[in-house]
Each structure stands twice: as structure tokens, then as C-alpha cells.
Structure 1
Amino acid sequence: MTNREDIKDRAAGAIMGAFVGDALGLGPHWYYNLDELRRDYGEWIDGYTAPKPGRYHEGLKAGQLSQAGVILDLMLRSLVAANGYDEADFCRRLDDDLFPMLDGTPAAGPGGYTSQSIRDAWRKRVEYGLPWGEVGGHADTTEAIERTLAIAVRYAFQPKKLAAAIAGNTTLTQVDETVVSMTVAHGALLAQLVQGQRLDAEISARLMALVKRGDLPFHAVTSDDLQPPQPGQPDPPRAGRFASPDALLTPSFIAAAAADPGVRIEPPWKVSLVYGMPCAIYHQLPAAYYLSAKFADDFEAAVLHAVNGGGQNMARAMLTGALTGAQVGLSGIPQRFIDGLENVGELQRRAERVASAVAADGLP
């Protein structure tokens, strides 16, 4: 039986785990040549590092956050101030606290690099004067996941609110329906882990139960256990906007592979080679799911294998950090990772404020 302190620990662990993963990826970010990565950082990266001259995020120090971490913190600030997700409040924070520091180019702004979707939103919002709701673009990255993971934590026990808030926040910057679907699915999975479930072969059945209850806006296209429809059986009613539940089924298949002794990715950092090193969401999510399932009780191993795989290792480590942090809790994250974060006191206070609200929802 879980208790309020367990829930709070897992919720804070998910948020702080994401910050840790983001900061771990800051130095060795976006090395697609693994020989160059090893040349610059040695055979195994085991902590925070500073970017090398001429690389992404040049000039930042070990333990600082990238812009993804900065935006996640803006989301946390908004969740605390509004006691939940308030789109107008979050958008105001982007307008007032982030966009004035950008100029529309990649190597500018806090964190030393601005992602494509944020650059597109800045340009449409600042240069063209378009309203929020008309500035989203077609980037297929995990950028929205990196901030909406805090929404997933906040509404871990309220799946309808979770899905609506994550979908709405995602479309502020990314409008592709497949990206939105996968982003909502990740949030729903993270919520299950905050509740105390495990990232295992059964997790998708729990997610599909929410679909059939009408709590998640996915279309259930098959019956239980993925059995085919029977002759004369009507098409199941749509629960919402997403045509397919496949994004909810992926975690169980990946977790089953991680637990299968006949499936070997050795060393595990080579998930980056198996699932792909680039930034797209369909490369990043399977790798994060695999590492978080394989190392469900070992936060350090999970995030360090995510970082040492190169490519878009910052997003991989951030997502892995959130999923694994939710399973081990804040108490299960090695203290050296917490202590090494810049401004850790403020970050942890905000994470724990959100976590306390989650625990109150879970066990009123």
C-alpha cells in the first residue's frame, strides 16, 4: 500500500530526475561521431561536464541546465503559482521571461541553444505578432515532452486533465498529431509510474484500461489482448482525438524486450544505435523506455547509459531521468547528482511543491 510520502517522493523524483538528465547531457550534447565523443570526454561519462569550445552550449558550466531545463522550470513555476496548469499563465511566462532573451537564431538565449520549435514560435509570436494558438510548427522532436512531463506529474491521478493539458500545451509549439499523440502517451505512462506502477510488460494494459474508461483520448481499435474483431461487431466508439493507441502499447513491448534474456543490447548505451541517435520523438522514446525499464531500480545506470550513447543524448537522458526518477523516487537519485545541479535548492523546492499537490490528489 502506497502512502502520501511515497507518492511525493516519486513525483519529486520524476521532476528532479529530468533536471539531472538535462544537465548531464549539457557537455557532451549532439556528438554523432562516438569516436569524437570518447576523445573529448573519455570512455565513460559519469557526471556533469562543461561543453568544449566550439560545441553546442559553449560557455556554460558543468551542472547548469540547457534551455529545455529552463523551460521545464518555467512550467514548474507556473504550476506552483496557479496550483495546476493554466495556459495563459504559462504563455505569459514564455512571453515575459524567455522570448526577450531570444533572437530567433539557434545559438542564443539561456542554455546556449534554442530548439527549432521554440525558434519557430518566437518568430511567429514576436516578429509576426501572431496570437498563441497560431504559432505551432511541425518539429517532430521531444521538446514538448521535456516541459509537459511536469504536467504529467501534477495530474498523475487525474488522467482526463492530464491528457487535455498536455495536448493543449504541446500544440502551442508542435501541431503534428502524431507528435501530440506520443507526447500525451508519454505523460500518461509517467503518471502511472508516479502512482507506483512499474515500467514493465503490463503497463500498457493499465493504460488501455484508461482508454476504455474514457479517460485517455485514444481510439481502441482492437479488443482485449489485441484480438481481432468478431463478425458483426460494431466499431468501438472513439474516446477522443487520437486515431490509434499504438503510442500507449509501445512501452510494454519495449519493457518486454528489456526483460527478455534473448534480447541483448550490450553495452546498453548502444540503444542509441538500435533506436537511432537523432532528435525525432520516434527515436527518443523507445530508447528512454528501454533504459528506464532495464534499470528501473538504478537511476545512475539509466541516465549514464542515456548520456554515453551520443547523438541527442540530452533529451534521451532527460526523458530517462524522469521515467526512472519516478520509479526510484527522489530518495533513489544519487546525492551527487542532486548536489551538482546549479540552483538545486530552488529547483527542488518547486519540485516538492508540485509533488505535495500530487500526493494530496492521490491520497486525499
Structure 2
Amino acid sequence: MSDAAIQDRAAGSIMGAFIGDALGLGPHWYYDLAVLRRDYGDWITTYTDPKPGRYHSDLKAGKLSQNGILLRLMLASLVARGGYDEADFCRRMDQEIFPLLNGMPVNGPGGYTQQSIRDAWRKRVQQNLPWGQTGGQADTTEGIARTLALAVRYAFQPEELAAAISSNTRLTQIDDTVVTLTVAYGAVLGLLVQGHKLNRSLSGKLMRLSRAGKLPFHTITHTDLQPPQADYPRKSGHFASPDALLTPSYVAAAAVDPDIRIEPAWKVSIVYGMTCAIYHQLPAAYHLSARFPDDFESAVLHAINGGGENQARAMLTGALVGAQVGLSGIPPRFLDGLDESETLQRSAMDLGAKVGAAAAASSAGV
């Protein structure tokens, strides 16, 4: 496994997320698909301007939403510090993001501020609470949107991956189910950056990591799901069950089963749910990433054309498929149309170089 291949997959994951986010800027949050088709035609193929009076209406095609901006902030911190430095990340939030917010939804960088970030802003700025007491109950994917960079950085270090993602997510979202699903997504992404595929065998690999104590998921069953012979108390800090690790392969198996067809593929949004909730977003992203593992364009465009919270769906899908095809496998037109693309690609490659170094150290037993 060459450092160049690892760097390519790592950078592909980061750029795939940025592309998915920007593709959703114009057609974001259309829950009436007839209105979406009226405004953007039968098939959205590229970056688009938001329509007047809708979300992000002051921005132009190719720009990032606030989720993309927060991912960029996380990426900058990781590159500057060499790894996850929570104090540095929080300082950047205090200095670069929170001064631009006022607690209202249609406000702030990217033209819209999600509930979890608004809640954290109120606790941090208005109530003057310390970081660590700023998390709320939002059940959405903002944690994934920024911590996917942590999954890439620590792709070959699952214990560090889980600890960093869990800690960062809890800065804004403290619901245990949300944190569990967020860490599980990161663990999936980490294996894809390593070179694995999102298929029916991936969950088995995640379960082995869990049983080896490298992922903090409580499990007493065997791979073949035979009845456990003994009970073991859940370890402190472990998530209640491994189900979030099992879901990706169940979804992936369904995505390629000839007897289970979602046609056209954008209808995953209807099957799994069009809303913002993490438990609707993840199955759709896993499905599209497993169905189109070598076709970045099809994966992200089906995510976008499904409507609803298509921006998060495309961002999560873009990261997963970007990790499978690599930066070299992303069609150039998506990179060319992305605002500040060259700067973002340099940062993504810089992070990828650190991932490659970590992989080399891991294989050498350092």
C-alpha cells in the first residue's frame, strides 16, 4: 500500500465532502419534489445558485454552506497542529465562527446556522459557559460534517479516531445515539481510506476492531451471532451496542441485491427519509456509497436529486465515495466549479500526507 494511494484516498474523501456540500447549496431543503423539479429541472448535474427567498439565497453556485465552512476550519486546525487539538479547534470557533452568529437560523457563514451550532453559541457566548458544557440534543449530522476530517486523519488509528470524534461531537451534540452513529460513520470512513470497500464484509472488520478493544462499542456476540456464553459488564466509555457498526453492511448488501432495487437511486431519500435526522441520513449515504463505489458522479448526484436534506446526504456520500475512488477519481468538473478549490485541495493533500505517515508508522509498529 503506497503512501501516494493513501494520500489520494484521504484527499478524495475530504474533497468529496466539500463537493457534496456545495452541490446542495442551491437545491437545499426542497421537500416537495415537484417544486424542486420546477426550479432546477428533471436532473441537477452541477453547482447551482439558490433561488431568491430560499436558503443560502445570498450565495452563488460553488460556495460552501456552514457545514462545509466548519469542515474547512477543522481541516485547517488538523493541518496546522498535526492532529486533533481540541483547544485549537475551540479557539478557532470562538474567534472565526461565533462572532459572526446572532442566534438566528438564517444568519451566519454559509447563510444558515444549524440548531446544534445555535445552541452551542447561546451557551458559549450568551451564557458564558466553558467548552464541554455547550452540547445540545440536536439529532442531526453536523458532528459528522466536521469530524469526518478526524476520521480521515486517524484512519489507521481507530482508538484515536473514536476518542477524537466522540469528544468533538459532544462539544455541540450530547445525545448518546447521535454520538454513537457519528463515531460509527467515522470508523467506516477510516476503513475506506485504508483501502477497504463499503460492502457486506465491512461490518465484520469493524466488529473485530471492537472486540479487540480498538473501537468503544460494547459487544458480547460472536461474528456468527450465536448466543453469548457469558455476560460481560459494559466498559466505561463504551457505547451500548455495536448496532451502528452492523448497519453499514446490511445497507450495503441491500444496495447490490438484485431482488432489492430502489429505482431510480435518488429515491433512497424517500425510502430512508428526507429529513435531517442522522438515522435517516446515514442509511441513504451508505446505500449510495455501496451502490456506486467507483462512480463518484452518480453517487453525489443521486444524493442531491433526492431532495429534502440533500446537502448533508451528498456531503456524507461524497466523503464515503471520495475515499473509495480517491481524489484522482473525482471528475475534474466538480473540482473546477468549487469555490477556492485549489486551496481546499492543497489542504486535503496536506492532511493526506499525515495519514500516509501514520500508516507507515503503524505498519512499522511504531
The whole-number CA distance in structure 2 between the counterparts of 1:240 and 1:102 is 33
The whole-number CA distance in structure 2 between the counterparts of 1:140 and 1:239 is 23
Using the TM superposition, give the Cα deviation of residue 259 of structure 1 relative to its aligned residue in structure 2, in angstroms. Answer: 1.1
Using the TM superposition, give the Cα deviation of residue 225 of structure 1 relative to its aligned residue in structure 2, in angstroms. Answer: 1.5
Is the Cα–Cα contact under 8 Å of residues 45 and 308 in structure 1 kept in the other structure? Answer: yes
Using the TM superposition, give the Cα deviation of residue 59 of structure 1 relative to its aligned residue in structure 2, in angstroms. Answer: 1.4
The whole-number CA distance in structure 1 between the counterparts of 2:152 and 2:302 is 24
- Once the two structures are superposed, the pairs formed by residues 41-190 of structure 1 within 5 Å of their partners are 41-190=40-189
The whole-number CA distance in structure 2 between the counterparts of 1:54 and 1:40 is 13
- Once the two structures are superposed, the pairs formed by residues 207-226 of structure 1 within 5 Å of their partners are 207-226=206-225
Using the TM superposition, give the Cα deviation of residue 237 of structure 1 relative to its aligned residue in structure 2, in angstroms. Answer: 5.9
Q: 2:338 aligns with which of 320, 338, 341?
A: 341
Where 1:223 maps in the other structure, the secondary structure is coil
Alignment partner, residue 261 of structure 1 = 258
The whole-number CA distance in structure 2 between the counterparts of 1:201 and 1:344 is 34
Deviations 1:296-340 (A, max 9, x none): 000000000000000000000000000000000000000000011
Where 1:271 maps in the other structure, the secondary structure is helix
Using the TM superposition, give the Cα deviation of residue 170 of structure 1 relative to its aligned residue in structure 2, in angstroms. Answer: 0.3
TM (normalized to structure 1)? 0.98
Deviations 1:65-86 (A, max 9, x none): 0000000000001001110000
Are residues 1:327 and 2:324 paired? yes
The whole-number CA distance in structure 2 between the counterparts of 1:235 and 1:290 is 33
Alignment partner, residue 277 of structure 2 = 280
Where 2:27 maps in the other structure, the secondary structure is coil
Alignment partner, residue 249 of structure 1 = 246
The whole-number CA distance in structure 2 between the counterparts of 1:69 and 1:224 is 37
Alignment partner, residue 364 of structure 2 = none
Using the TM superposition, give the Cα deviation of residue 124 of structure 1 relative to its aligned residue in structure 2, in angstroms. Answer: 0.8
Where 2:224 maps in the other structure, the secondary structure is helix
Give the aligned residue type for 1:255: A
Where 2:63 maps in the other structure, the secondary structure is coil
Is the Cα–Cα contact under 8 Å of residues 141 and 279 in structure 1 kept in the other structure? Answer: yes
The whole-number CA distance in structure 2 between the counterparts of 1:280 and 1:225 is 31
Where 1:224 maps in the other structure, the secondary structure is coil
Give the aligned residue type for 1:279: C
The whole-number CA distance in structure 1 between the counterparts of 2:340 and 2:231 is 56
Alignment partner, residue 193 of structure 1 = 192
Alignment partner, residue 292 of structure 2 = 295
TM (normalized to structure 2)? 0.97
Q: Percent identity?
A: 68
Give the aligned residue type for 2:146: R
Is the Cα–Cα contact under 8 Å of residues 211 and 239 in structure 1 kept in the other structure? Answer: no
The whole-number CA distance in structure 1 between the counterparts of 2:345 and 2:113 is 24
Alignment partner, residue 36 of structure 1 = 35
Using the TM superposition, give the Cα deviation of residue 222 of structure 1 relative to its aligned residue in structure 2, in angstroms. Answer: 1.2
Per the alignment, do residues 239 and 205 of structure 1 end up closer, same or farther by CA in structure 2, a change over 3 Å counting?
farther
The whole-number CA distance in structure 2 between the counterparts of 1:289 and 1:269 is 13
Alignment partner, residue 6 of structure 2 = 7
Q: 1:271 aligns with which of 265, 268, 272?
A: 268
Alignment partner, residue 203 of structure 2 = 204
Where 2:46 maps in the other structure, the secondary structure is coil
Give the aligned residue type for 1:280: A
Using the TM superposition, give the Cα deviation of residue 240 of structure 1 relative to its aligned residue in structure 2, in angstroms. Answer: 4.0
Is the Cα–Cα contact under 8 Å of residues 285 and 317 in structure 2 kept in the other structure? Answer: yes
Is the Cα–Cα contact under 8 Å of residues 7 and 355 in structure 1 kept in the other structure? Answer: yes
The whole-number CA distance in structure 2 between the counterparts of 1:276 and 1:265 is 13
Where 1:111 maps in the other structure, the secondary structure is helix
Is the Cα–Cα contact under 8 Å of residues 80 and 353 in structure 1 kept in the other structure? Answer: yes
Deviations 1:139-188 (A, max 9, x none): 00000000000000000000010000000000000000000000000000
Is the Cα–Cα contact under 8 Å of residues 65 and 109 in structure 2 kept in the other structure? Answer: yes
Using the TM superposition, give the Cα deviation of residue 257 of structure 1 relative to its aligned residue in structure 2, in angstroms. Answer: 0.2
Q: CA RMSD in A?
A: 0.9
Deviations 1:268-306 (A, max 9, x none): 000000000000000000000000000000000000000
The whole-number CA distance in structure 1 between the counterparts of 2:237 and 2:135 is 21
Where 1:226 maps in the other structure, the secondary structure is coil
Is the Cα–Cα contact under 8 Å of residues 234 and 240 in structure 2 kept in the other structure? Answer: no
Aligned residue-pair number: 361
